Amino acid sequence: MSEQIRIVLIEDQYFFRLALKTTIESRADMRIVGEADRGAAAVELCRQHTAHVAIVDLKMPGMSGFEVLAALHRECPATRLMVLSNYEGSEDIHRALSAGALAYLTKDAGAEELIGAILSVHAGKRFVSKSVGAMLAGRMPGSELTERELDVLRLLAAGCSNREIGHRLGISENTVRIHMGRVLDKLGVADRTQAVLTALQRGLVHVD
């Protein structure tokens, strides 16, 4: 038999992690060699077990999944990365793939799709489901927000007024209005409420 694919799971939900392990280890060619419920352990696990594939959730305590992906991509270049997450926004998908993930699946993916993604990633090939591909296709080029615009948008989503946003960011209220105008233009919306709704749908901001 050929060498088993060694897989590390970075997922904070115990029962979901258990279900993944059961599905994956039903195959003779795959084995879970390490598990963690937070991202801080990811790099050490992949190094310790010389993992072929790491499956990473994006929403975890401590380090975010995006930070985990960046760290693994930098520190464990031989480990191929894939995301399995509830985040379905086009910006989440784009950020994860830009951070080094070869595959992006949502948590409602079936066993066949999960196994297919692992095999593709292990072979160094990109894998995205049809729904994920459609989300990426709908992402408008040139719509990237700057860090400052994202700061403004996050505070807007938290219910802050222009004055409160300016106070928190240390900028004038007029500067906030300028940033807000650019945010509305890039998101293709007419007002602040639509901006927040669009940002939530695309994964630009998250409300826990």
Give the domains, in start order, of the chain with CATH numbers. 5-137 (3.40.50.2300), 147-202 (1.10.10.10)
Q: Which residues of the chain have pLDDT under 50?
A: 1
Please tell me the predicted confidence (pLDDT) of residue 138: 57
Element (H, E) at 85: strand 80-85
Please tell me the predicted confidence (pLDDT) of residue 119: 95
Identify the three-state secondary structure at position 55.
strand
Evaluate whether 121 touches 80 at the Cβ level (below 8 Å): yes
CA–CA dist 112, 136 (Å, integer): 22
Please tell me the predicted confidence (pLDDT) of residue 143: 60
102 secondary structure, DSSP code: S
List, in sequence order, every residue forming a beta bridge with 175; answer none if it has no partner. Answer: none
Closest CA relative to residue 46, chosen from 12, 14, 9: 9
C-alpha distances in Å from residue 80, one per residue of 9, 45, 70, 115, 136 = 12, 14, 12, 14, 21
Three-point CA angle 28, 53, 93, nearest 5°: 125
C-alpha distances in Å from residue 39, one per residue of 67, 103, 150, 172, 198 = 8, 18, 24, 37, 28
Please tell me the predicted confidence (pLDDT) of residue 1: 47
